[in-house]
Structure 1
């Protein structure tokens, strides 16, 4: 028989999943802008990795481009959602795992009411505890989940044209398990953990002649009119306040694709 605490936790989880679906699918017209934006990186038949797929809004946009998708998500509460939405699509592979520097297991800290910010990074949780933008957030549970490397994912599915990594402060660990340079990728940045974003930029710059740009949130407008060098994007990250909106750092081996163009939204 379930205890009252267990029932409350299940309700929090159900609320968190419903909240995520409302946020990411409640404005369906945004998918057109997202598809246009990612269309600079992905063509029909290209392979994309969605690391930290959450409820799959990137999957939907990328499938509009007829790209093939490998979506990786470790949260038990979100996997049934992804299977219901995309499990019958033969061009989408769903992988129930975390991505880390080494294969094995990682301990995932769960925020049932806001599953967007589940994290395997203790440093992320410590930083969030003193950040005003994370006030009231509670990581109420943990679970051990299987971990794969990006190299293992590539060995299994092939080399992707684009990789998106959004795993709440664990992005550097994910990149440690990547030994080949994809054409383009994005990694989340959080101003309260600037050192993680800067380390990701440094690692990518050592792998290939990438140029960089950035967006806020799930935005489809680059913040800089022209692509930046690794040094310039690292300096921009350093200039951010101690707390503020998160976003994505984009890296691409073709600088022309990182320019602000007409039609961005």
Structure 2
């Protein structure tokens, strides 16, 4: 019972944070508006409580919301289960299909992860010491290729899976027009591996947004330049998203 109450409290907190800031919402729409047009298909991988789903819908897109955490899937179904423009996939995304244990942060489910390396890196890192992963659940795993086979090729993929981004990108065999992936300064090697994978897929221009700023840091960069930018970031920058496009 206590665990269930903590999960509900965490979900309410996430809803307040991610849906309650009008300025952030407007900035998000402006950022994603560079990639998404009415009628486009978008994959939101690691949808959490669906604030990006909301943005993609406001831009007129159809959305596949991918989220393996049972509690967050319930929230997504509550918010979007009746929407004809949203399909909810209660799965994780990785290199190959199967099942995997997911370690749950009950008080902050946005940092729950399949990646044991991510949790090990976070446990004693500055800025992360208050986080606790206290539960585990086995979740089904699919691939981006399998999702494309089922739903069609998206115009844009948003990937935020707490240290499992490079594994997820290895389940994509062909580039879509644009994608983003989360990086953290506690696991820069994962971000670098994602850049390398994107380059192998044919992505040649990159940009980034720090934290929840919803704003690019500057001009578009090459793979080498964005890699140097990531390596030069101060540790306290903590996290953000790198965007990749191909012409």
How does the TM-score come out when normalised to structure 1? 0.91
> What's the counterpart of residue 147 of structure 2?
153
Q: 1:133, 1:244 within 8 Å by CA — same for their partners in 2? A: no
Distance in 2 of aligned mates of 1:29 and 1:87: 26
> What's the counterpart of residue 128 of structure 2?
134
> What's the counterpart of residue 244 of structure 2?
251
Structure 1 alignment gaps of length 5 or more: 1-6, 255-265
Deviation of 1:165 (Å): 0.4
Task: Say which SS state the counterpart of residue 169 (structure 2) adopts.
Answer: helix
Task: Say which SS state the counterpart of residue 71 (structure 2) adopts.
Answer: coil
Residues 1:18 and 2:12 aligned together: yes
Q: 2:203, 2:244 within 8 Å by CA — same for their partners in 1? A: no
Deviation of 1:243 (Å): 4.6
Residue 241 of structure 1, aligned match among 234, 240, 244: 234
Please provide the CA RMSD for this pair.
Answer: 1.1
Distance in 1 of aligned mates of 2:84 and 2:212: 26
Moved more, 192-201 or 214-223: 214-223
Distance in 1 of aligned mates of 2:204 and 2:142: 25
C-alpha distance 209-171 of structure 1, shift in aligned 2 (>3 A): closer
Deviation of 1:116 (Å): 0.7
Structure 2 alignment gaps of length 5 or more: none
Deviation of 1:213 (Å): 0.6
> What's the counterpart of residue 230 of structure 1?
223
Distance in 2 of aligned mates of 1:33 and 1:86: 22
> What's the counterpart of residue 70 of structure 2?
76
Moved more, 29-38 or 181-190: 29-38
Deviation of 1:218 (Å): 2.7
Deviation of 1:210 (Å): 2.1
> What's the counterpart of residue 261 of structure 1?
none
Rg (Cα) greater in structure: 1
Distance in 2 of aligned mates of 1:209 and 1:168: 22
Structure 1, residues 75-128: CA drift from partner, whole Å, max 9, x if none? 011111101111111010000000011101011000010011000000001100
Deviation of 1:253 (Å): 1.6
Task: Say which SS state the counterpart of residue 22 (structure 2) adopts.
Answer: coil
> What's the counterpart of residue 163 of structure 1?
157
Residue 64 of structure 1, aligned match among 48, 58, 65: 58
Residue 217 of structure 1, aligned match among 198, 203, 211: 211
How does the TM-score come out when normalised to structure 2? 0.97
- Number of matched pairs: 247
Q: Detail structure 1 runs of 4+ shifted over 4 Å in the superposition.
A: none
